[in-house]
A = this chain, B = another copy of it.
Amino acid sequence: MAGLAAIDLADQLALADSLADAAGAVIRRYFRSKIAVDDKADASPVTIADREAEAAMRRLIEARVPAHGILGEEYGEARIGADWVWVLDPIDGTKSFISGVPLFGTLIALLHQGVPVLGVIDQPISGERWRGSAGAPTTLNGAPIRTRPCGDIATASLFATAPDMFAGSDAVAFRRLQSRVKLSRFGSDCYAYGLVAAGFIDCVVEACLKPYDYCAMGPIIEGAGGKTSDWQGKPLGLASDGRVVCAGDPALHETILTVLDS
């Protein structure tokens, strides 16, 4: 990503902040209120807040950078072949959202020619916003953050959203990984990636993710000193298979790939 550091992303970061502000205003209105919840085909709950928050973000993109593409969880794609594509998940962690748990988040990524160059995780209830962009240090509420070193996998803390996200041989590989770490924990959604970036936990390993679940994570984690990839070690992009390894210490990332593959 050496060349990308030369791109000035200040305007895009400002727009990403506006998107997160707009989504957060919608989400705070609905969190812990009694609203209708229906089921999508994949059985994940989706709420009115989800749709309204994405619509608010799309309106801002259409108004300010109408040539940019958009891929959103709720309303699909527009101009997906553009040089710049925004990838939006208004509420990552809808199960947490509908359960009143403030660990969901709004995920915003910007891809340049297919490469994620900007990522935002926004938790609108706790008021925490992680921002990462190519060539700049990742911040949490404006303050630079760093991942922590973890030279020995036996001391690592591992997070994932749910044990049932792993099927077949993936489940076997994940259990093998669990047996090697010190502490594993479920139920955190996107918030766990923020915890890796800020140096409070060591790694997140997941499967069955969609591009809008993971595209924001690379810029955030890598700008804090960590590493993300798919389970084969390949960079994450729109065409990834949804299996993600994220580690605060690049050496731990390498070890995790080996354990998953062994």
Contacts and interface: CB of A to CB of B under 8 A. Distances in A.
Interface of A: 32, 45, 95-96, 98-103, 125-126, 157, 159, 162-163, 183, 185-188, 191, 195, 198, 200-201
Given A95-B183, A103-B103, A163-B163, 15 more contacts: A98-B157, A99-B157, A99-B159, A99-B185, A99-B200, A100-B198, A100-B200, A101-B195, A102-B102, A162-B185, A162-B186, A185-B187, A186-B186, A186-B187, A187-B188
Number of identical monomers bound together in the oligomeric complex: 2
A195 B163 contact: no
A100 to B, nearest CB: 3
A185 to B, nearest CB: 6
Contact of A201 (B99, B102, B103, B191): B99
Contacts of A162: 185-186
18 contacts: A32-B198, A95-B183, A95-B185, A98-B200, A99-B159, A99-B195, A99-B200, A100-B195, A100-B201, A101-B103, A101-B191, A101-B195, A102-B102, A103-B103, A163-B186, A185-B187, A186-B186, A186-B187
Nearest to A44: B183
A188 B126 CA distance: 16
Contacts of A103: 101, 103
Residue from A32, A101, A162, A200 whose CB has the most chain B CB atoms within 10 Å: A101
A203 to B, nearest CB: 11
Residue from A163, A186, A198 whose CB has the most chain B CB atoms within 10 Å: A186
Contacts of A99: 157, 159, 183, 185, 195, 200-201
A49 to B, nearest CB: 14
A188 B101 contact: yes
Ranked 8 nearest A-B pairs via Cβ? A187-B187, A100-B200, A186-B186, A186-B187, A99-B201, A100-B195, A163-B163, A185-B187
Residue from A32, A187, A198 whose CB has the most chain B CB atoms within 10 Å: A187
A223 B142 CA distance: 42
Contacts of A95: 183, 185
